[in-house]
Amino acid sequence: MTDYKNIPPNLIEQVRTVRDYDISYDTLHTKAILKDRQSERTIKVPYSAYTNKYKDALSTIIITKELDDYKKRYFWYRPKSVSLYYYGNTELWADILIINNCAALREFTPDKLKIYDPDRLKKFINEIMILEQVYY
């Protein structure tokens, strides 16, 4: 069932919403809804990343960054720092490991770094949210 009260009323409001939209753990994951029938409490539990579900589409915006010696040393073993540096948050650190073919932090020692293009990522995330009918 669609929650119509959260749908922006017009295109201008939709553009404002998207412009102000932040990438977060909450918005990047599908949620299971658990409801306690006695207390009527509801808990939303994130369980599956949209970036994993749409990895084929997102693979079209992967770019390679050449790293100077300082950035190589700074980013070694620190995919969260990469995510913070390029996206302004740490939410995509696991994706950075995956697209750089690293199974663990100790493998993350890139000379060349693969990341989602920061200039195009927000648009892709917005399109994913529309496909999933998640309204902000």
List helix spans (H) across 2-102: 11-20, 50-53, 55-58, 69-75, 79-87, 93-99
What is the C-alpha to C-alpha distance for residues 47 and 105, in angstroms, rounded to an integer?
21
pTM over 0.75: no
Tens digit of pLDDT for each residue in 7-57? 556 655 655 554 445 667 677 777 788 888 888 888 888 778 888 888 999
66 pLDDT more than 50: yes
How confident is the model at residue 72, as a pLDDT?
Answer: 94
